[in-house]
Amino acid sequence: MAKEQALSGISGDWKKVLNGGKAAKLLVKVFEELKDVDEKTLCPSIKDIFNAFRFPFEQVSVIIIGQDPYHTPGHAHGLSFSSLADTVPPSLHKIYKCLQTDGLIGSDAGPASGDLTPLRDQGVLLLNSALTTVHGKPGAHIKIWSAYIDSVIHRINALSLKKDNKLIYLLWGADAQKKADAKKKNLMDKHIVLTAAHPMAYLKDSDELSFVQCGHFLQANKLLKGMDKHVIDWDWSSSSSSSPESPASPESPASPASPASPASPASPAVTTEKSRAQIRRYFTGGERTCVCFTDGSCSPNKRCPEAQGGYATVFTQGLLNDTRIYGSLNTEKNFASNMRAEGYAILRGLQYASDEKHIEDWDVFVVVTDNLKWMEMITQDMASWSPEKFATQSNPDITLPLWQLWKKMEFENEKKMIILHMKSHDKDGWSRYPDGSYEKYCYEQNKYVDILAKYAREEMDRGDESIDAAEYESE
């Protein structure tokens, strides 16, 4: 088996990493041990052994370490977890489910393809602990590749540090996490390491839940954003264009009473499947999933003494269902604005849910806002802000306590925290969907919380707030 044939197409810094220094000697030893393997039984084929490295070294940003290639013919092609077979492997279905949980995948139908090449081409190194095995024999070459892969990881880390490129490692399961052992002295501790159960961990239900809800993909994108790097489009099978039928909305009370809606626009914009699925999937989470819609209102919408702002939060699922919080912004220290009202609505919903009276009532917190800026700040920007940075941003009296409480819930209380965006004022045309559809449900809740925020602005005294139960239309 020819080492040169396997390394064909590898150039630049990757060639130095894979076939330089100590790694070069170890690679010679690897191929010496593989010389008697029948190439017809090799997984993957010899030309694909180093397929994971066929993109510019400068682009690598995320590294996912798998175990060894699929041992079933037709699957492996040199990328960990990736498969070229017509049948998508179960591990990829779990990864897809995790991406759905993170709100990064737009289809509920499962992956249309198992080929993860689109992720590699964005700078995701899909590395296996062993680069080969043989048909029908999982783990056959683990020991053969072990020392070489350790050396490669060290060289990747060292060269990346030299180029001032901080990497993000996603390590799933005990085998992958052993690569982060400090005894290996491979400089992984100089980079960012996220760990979780393996996608195929079936020993305990909690293992599977641990992976599906690990949040690694969303967290990786937050970190990349904070480092001013390109975020990853994790939807590798987004070429599927068909949209599934709209499922019925979850069992929940009818929408709270509100004035008649204005006429719908003649040609409403069509929502994307991704945005639809982001919101839909969280409305079937049961009573342990706490869902709330938030909104703000201000007139005139500029920072001035005359400006008055109203905010509203309505819980629509979970044990806090039917609770609504609404009030008029206190303007003694800060002028009102729509941004303040929108942010304060999110903060008050989170404060109420995290109160000691309610914190044990939920495991997942989902807030739906029609303010894209607030969603982007929470999911992308705030993770990289220092206390000094918060102080220089607008509304630090809202952003800092919101972020501190959000992270406390996520890390100290081990809650799943999610914020989603939907367009305001029926810009997606969701009012035209059938009664009982999730689109119509979201439209009605967003419309109601918008009306409630305006009511608070117009009818309540500045600084006043009310917490009560939602009212419902009579049959």
State the number of CA atoms in the 13 A half-sphere of 24 facing the CB. Answer: 7
DSSP for 140-158?
TTHHHHHHHHHHHHHHHHH
Angle CA(283)–CA(285)–CA(286) in degrees, nearest 5? Answer: 105
CB distance 402 to 378 below 8 Å: yes
Peptide bond into 300 cis (omega under 30): yes
Q: Which of 13, 48, 68, 426 is catalytic?
A: 68
The distance in angstroms from the start CA to the end CA of the chain is: 77
**Whether residue 68 lies in the annotated active site:** yes
CB atoms within 10 A of CB 6: 24
Q: Residue 402 is inside which H or E element, if any?
A: helix 396-407
Estimate the share of the chain in helix, then strand, then coil, as percent rounded to the nearest 5. Answer: 40, 15, 45
Between the alpha carbon of residue 341 and those of residues 175, 302, 363, the distances in Å are 48, 12, 26
Residue with tokens 């979850």: 250
Catalytic residues: 68
